[in-house]
Chains A and B, each alone.
Chain A
Amino acid sequence: MLEQLINWFPEWARPFIMPMLTIAIVLQVNLGVCSYLILLERKLSAWMQDRIGPNRVGPWGLLQPVADMLKLLLKEDVIPGHVNKFLYVLAPGISVFTTMLAFAVVPFGPVPRNLSATDGQFPFIIAPGVDLGLVFIFAVTSLAVYGIILGGWASNNKYSALGAMRASAQVVSYEIPLGMSVVGLALLTGSMSIEKILLHQADAGILGWNIWFQPLACVIFFAAAMAEAQRLPFDLSECEQELVGGWHTEYSAMKWGLFFLGEYTHVITISFLTSILFFGGWHFPWIAEPESQYLGSTLVKVLVLLMKSFAFIIVIQMLRWTIPRFRFDQLMGLAWKVLIPLATLNVICVMIVKQFHLNQWWLLPMSAALFLGAGLIGTQSSRPFARRTVEPVAEAHGHHAHAH
């Protein structure tokens, strides 16, 4: 059917049909899913806090996202007089553009092994065959911080500037553990391509999923990716209690909405990546094996991947209401003193296993030992960075010390 569709177009246009179709599907599904994820997040938070949540629009509040969307689109779009107009308008666009671009190399179904642009197979990925998919994702998501920095600076507001500065320091720091955590995967698989990492796990079966060999890397990746997406508990840059709204204080209507569209797209990308890199992607024993060819097996594979990703989205949203926000020095300490050394040690473990041809299963106790060791050091060290003692101030300024 798809082949007929392609053949209906003139020769020169045929290579563009499949990518256009895929982009259209991904974009539409993403927009729809994002709005319903917001409803889910509100409902989840309500249940976790023993409330009812939005229940007025439609049955069980199911039409709430539609109402929210209409409200965002129809609201008056205020551009304050004291902002730098060009950058102020540009920032939300950068935010959405970069996060959407990152999704281009993420497969969302079983990518056919011998794929060509014109033979009518649905590719299940926007840009198939990118050899450096992981590096591409890190490169693009590292640009996402420009949206926040420019938005914060152009707003010409002290709260926004503080939020933007926090965001820039945070993203630059957390990029290092994020990149280091997947080096182990690349070494184990021998490739940086996301499709190849997925196929490698699918061919090896459920005991070949990377989570068995790299559980520590999975935790580091997940934490660092959350920090990159500025999700709670890492959302120091928009920290409502101290910074009003952080970098988006001055934004309203759909420009504000675009920032959150970017954030939710980022969350979806993280969930897809975690389930693909560490949990076998569309592979599931018995029902979705690489050789299963029964009717509708492709659909089952897509559903398996979607369910895995959905589970991670739920985890991310429940984390939001479970772990309180860090203090900023704790946040930087976590990246530089905990995650980066652990990720480096993890890479060294993988190198040892590969160099001396040890059994891959040695990686599981190694990761556990690293994790427990870090925990022990954390609890036993006599001066945790959380405890900041205030020096008694000199006599003349004594009353100030009480005031603080």
Chain B
Amino acid sequence: MQWNEENGLLLIPLGLGCLAVWWLMPSAKQRPRILGGLAALAAILMMQLMLLPPAGDYVRNVLFFLFAAAAVISAGLMITDRNPVYAALWFALVTLAVCGLFLLNSAPFLSASTIIVYAGAIIVTFLFVIMLAQQSGTATSYDQQPIQPAIASIGAFILLGALLFTLQEWGHIDGKSTNLHAEPGQFIALPEGIQPNPLSQAPHDNPHEIGSLRVLGRSLFGDYLFAVEIAGTVLLIATIGAIAIAPRRSQGTL
């Protein structure tokens, strides 16, 4: 019952949000969109009360709420928009807003590279494919209805709930704030029991260095060398696979 008291409150906005997304998803019969919108707004406001960001200065707070609201709202619109091209554009906005959040948390390189890779390349490729499939400016009939809206929204919100629950456990909080003693440039304080990696080569003493290219490189190729190499190998395998799947010149490509 201890658990229920601490985390039961979280279930209300989660359920409300799930309902809102399911309601807003495009379907055969028209539902009044205003109801879904109101439910989504209520869910966001309740969630916002429970998970306040660390108290920073005024500018930082304003920027945080701007980017966070933009990210969440565009994400909702991305899922519920009828037109695939608009969905891709909302996805681009989500990426840009999240990059703004990265920037606020002193990760400029992560922010810039996410813009280059996601907004600049991957979503452009999405748009390319969508434009090939659907060439007119107005929406056509197919590709407009989700296949299993109920299962998809419930599954996604269970995932989100698990994520939030883990974050709360990790941050040692009681449903109020994720971070009471935040260092500058830090979103969530390091929990009590966890020590920093002793093998880490990155200097932790200078707060201005956090997130700089030098520290990031040392961390990637020092602390996370194994993960980086594995990721590189997986990508290489994917590239080889793509070349293997692609038809040969003799089979009629350029």
Interface residues of A (CB under 8 A from B): 82-84, 87, 131-132, 135-136, 138-140, 142-143, 145-146, 149-150, 152-156, 158, 161, 164-165, 168-169, 171-172, 175, 179, 192, 329, 385, 388
State the Cβ distance, A88 to closest chain B Cβ, in Å: 8
Q: Which among B85, B109, B125, B254 is the interface contact of A135 at CB below 8 angstroms?
A: B109
Chain B min CB distance to A184 (Å): 16
* Cβ-defined partner of B254 (8 Å) among A146, A155, A171, A329: A329
Bound CA–CA A107/B66 (angstroms): 30
Assess whether B148 is interfacial by the CB under 8 Å rule: no
Cβ-based interface call for B116 (8 A): yes
Judged by a CB distance under 8 angstroms, whether B131 is at the interface is yes
- A-B pairs, top 7 by smallest CB distance, nearest first, are A142-B120, A156-B137, A84-B137, A139-B115, A135-B112, A139-B112, A168-B128
Q: Is B136 an interface residue (CB 8 A)?
A: yes
Contacts of A138 in B (CB 8 A): 112, 116, 120
User: Is there an interface contact between B127 and A149, defined as CB atoms closer than 8 Å?
Assistant: yes
Task: Report whether A153 and B131 are in contact in the complex, using a CB–CB cutoff of 8 Å.
Answer: yes
Known: A135-B113, A168-B128. A84 touches B119 (CB 8 A): no
CA distance A171 to B212 in the complex (A): 28
Across the interface, do B124 and A171 meet the contact criterion of CB distance under 8 Å?
yes
Residues of B within 8 A of A142 (CB): 115-116, 119-121
Asked if B30 is an interface residue, CB under 8 A from chain A, the answer is no
B135 adjacent to chain A (CB < 8 Å): yes
| B136 touches which of A131, A150, A156, A168 (Cβ 8 Å) | A156
In the complex, the chain A residue whose C-beta lies closest to that of B88 is A149
* Residues A169 and B128 in contact, CB atoms below 8 Å apart: yes
Cβ-defined contact, B112 with A136, below 8 A: yes
Q: Is B12 among interface residues, defined by CB-CB distance under 8 A? A: no
Bound Cα distance from A143 to B119, whole angstroms: 7
Q: Which of B85, B120, B127, B137: most chain A CB closer than 10 A?
A: B137
Distance in Å from the Cβ of A163 to the closest Cβ of chain B? 11
B197 in the interface (beta carbon within 8 A): no
- DSSP class of A's interface residues: helix, strand, loop or mixed? helix
Min C-beta distance of B54 to chain A, whole Å = 24
Chain A residues whose CB sits within 8 angstroms of the CB of B242 once the complex forms: none
CB B248 to nearest CB in A, in angstroms, measures: 14
Minimum CB–CB distance from B221 to chain A (whole Å) comes to 13
- List which B198-220 residues lie within 8 A (CB) of chain A: 212-213
Instruction: Name the interface residues of B117-133: CB closer than 8 Å to any CB of A.
Output: 119-121, 124-125, 127-128, 131-132
* B121 and A172 contact, CB distance less than 8 A: yes
Is B120's CB under 8 angstroms from A143's CB?
yes
Residues of B within 8 A of A132 (CB): 108-109, 112, 213
Q: Are B137 and A83 in contact (CB under 8 A)?
A: yes
Tell me whether A192 and B213 are in contact in the complex, defined as CB-CB below 8 angstroms, given that A132-B109, A135-B109, A388-B254 are known contacts.
yes
B138 at the interface (CB under 8 A from A): yes
Contact with B137, one of A139, A145, A155, A192 (Cβ below 8 angstroms): A155
Q: Which residues B205-254 have CB closer than 8 A to chain A? A: 212-213, 254
Given the interface pairs A132-B112, A161-B135, the reply to whether A168 lies near B213 with Cβ below 8 Å is no
Residues of B within 8 A of A143 (CB): 115, 119-120
B16 contacts partner chain A, Cβ-Cβ < 8 Å: no
Q: From residue 122 to 165 of chain B, which have CB atoms closer than 8 A to chain A?
A: 124-125, 127-128, 131-132, 135-138
CB pair A145–B109 under 8 Å, yes or no, is no
Q: How far is the CA of A150 from the CA of B89 in the complex (A)?
A: 9
Q: Does B92 contact A (CB under 8 A)?
A: yes
Q: Complex: how many Å from CA A172 to CA B136?
A: 23
A85 to chain B: closest CB distance in Å? 9
> Are B138 and A175 interface neighbours, CB within 8 A?
no
Q: In the bound complex, do residue B109 and residue A172 qualify as a contact, i.e. CB atoms below 8 Å apart?
A: no
Give the interface centre of B89, B116, B138 by most chain A CB atoms within 10 Å.
B116
For the complex formed, measure the closest distance between the CB of A171 and the CB atoms of chain B, giving whole angstroms.
7
A41 to chain B, nearest CB (A): 28
Point out the residues of chain B lying under 8 angstroms from A165, CB to CB.
128, 131-132
* Nearest A residue to B83, CB-CB: A84
Complex CA gap A142/B112 in Å reads: 11
- Judge whether A172 and B115 touch: CB under 8 Å: no
Q: How far is the CB of B95 from chain A (nearest CB, A)?
A: 10
Query: Chain A residues with Cβ under 8 A from B131's Cβ?
Result: 149, 152-153, 161, 164-165
Given contacts A135-B109, A139-B115, 6 further A-B contacts (CB under 8 A): A84-B137, A135-B116, A142-B116, A142-B120, A168-B124, A175-B120
Q: Is the CB–CB distance between A145 and B125 below 8 Å?
A: no
Would A175 and B121 count as touching, CB distance under 8 A? yes
Give every chain B residue within 8 A of A388 (Cβ-Cβ).
254
CB distance from A177 to the nearest CB of B (A): 14
In the complex, 23 of the A-B residue pairs with CB atoms within 8 angstroms, ordered by the A residue number, are A82-B137, A131-B212, A132-B112, A135-B116, A139-B112, A139-B120, A142-B116, A142-B121, A143-B119, A145-B120, A146-B92, A149-B127, A149-B128, A153-B85, A153-B127, A153-B137, A156-B137, A158-B135, A168-B127, A169-B128, A171-B124, A172-B120, A172-B121
